[in-house]
Structure 1
Amino acid sequence: MALAAEITAYRDGGGDSGRLVGEFRRAVLLAPLTEGGADVDEARGGLMSAVSGGIRWLYAFTDEEALARFAQARGEAGRQWPYVAILGARLVDVVVPMVDGPAGVAVNVADADGSMLFPPVAGIVPDACAVDLDVDGRGAVA
């Protein structure tokens, strides 16, 4: 099942979290690139992201149509949106550890009924980057 369909199934209550994460890791996602703009939440010349709740969320989209809806929502549909195609697994296994601080992936953020956050927790990001584990890889104490 494609990631967008798996997200829909999960949001409708019929999905499985393991299947959802597996599909996310296998999916080729479109990650928009910044243009070195003035937005302080964007790493200049890198992958477009935003910080919310102390977490840097990397934007990723399942297809060009989802990316276009994001551009439209930002009022920036009239410009070119450069992006890289990248596996979800590569985003969380390689890119997230390069980010200074906790980071996750926000998929299809402009789609009210089709978006999904993949937070920096064990089972999604590498254990060393998971905010729910302590430095020894054990569950964090509340």
Structure 2
Amino acid sequence: MELTAEIEAIRDGLGDPARLLGEFRRAVLLVPLAEGPDGGLMSAVSGGIRWIYAFTDEEALARFAQARGEAESAREWDYLSVLGARLADAVVPMADRPAGVVVNVADDDGSMFFPPVAGIVPDANAVDLAGPGEVA
């Protein structure tokens, strides 16, 4: 089953979280590049968490551009193709704060958040695991 189908199954209450995570890790996702001098991957911060935007296909990325009011602009949306596993295991640890991945964020019924918790991101970056002297 592909990632979008697993997301749909989870949202319908019929999915398996482990299968969803496996599909996320195997999926090739489109991650838009941020404009401006700092560049990097496009993301947003909410609740102290940096959410990296990722999309399952160009159509989902186009819906995101449209939701931002940028579909008709002359802006070219450059992006990288990245495995979900690479985002979780290599990109999240490089973030300036706790980070997770949000897939197809502009799709009301098809988006899914992969938060910075144990089992999704490396334990060292999981906000739900307490280190010595820390509170989870």
Matched residue, 2:94 = 98
Give the letter for the 1:124 counterpart: I
**Distance across 1 between alignment mates of 2:97 and 2:34:** 19
**Distance across 1 between alignment mates of 2:83 and 2:29:** 6
Partner of residue 63 from structure 2, selected from 63, 69, 73: 69
- Specify the SS of the correspondent of 2:89: helix
Aligned residue pairs total 133
User: Which runs of no fewer than 5 residues in structure 1 stay unpaired?
Assistant: 38-43
| 1:56 matched to 2:44 | no
User: Which runs of no fewer than 5 residues in structure 2 stay unpaired?
Assistant: none
Matched residue, 1:119 = 115
Matched residue, 1:132 = 128
Matched residue, 2:10 = 10
- Specify the SS of the correspondent of 1:81: coil
Scaled by the length of structure 2, the TM-score of the pair is 0.94
Tell me by how many angstroms 1:101 deviates. 1.3
Deviation string 1:103-140 (CA, Å, 9 cap, x unpaired) is 0001000000000000000000000000000126xxx8
> 4+ residue stretches of structure 1 with deviation over 2 A?
none
Scaled by the length of structure 1, the TM-score of the pair is 0.90
Give the letter for the 2:29 counterpart: L
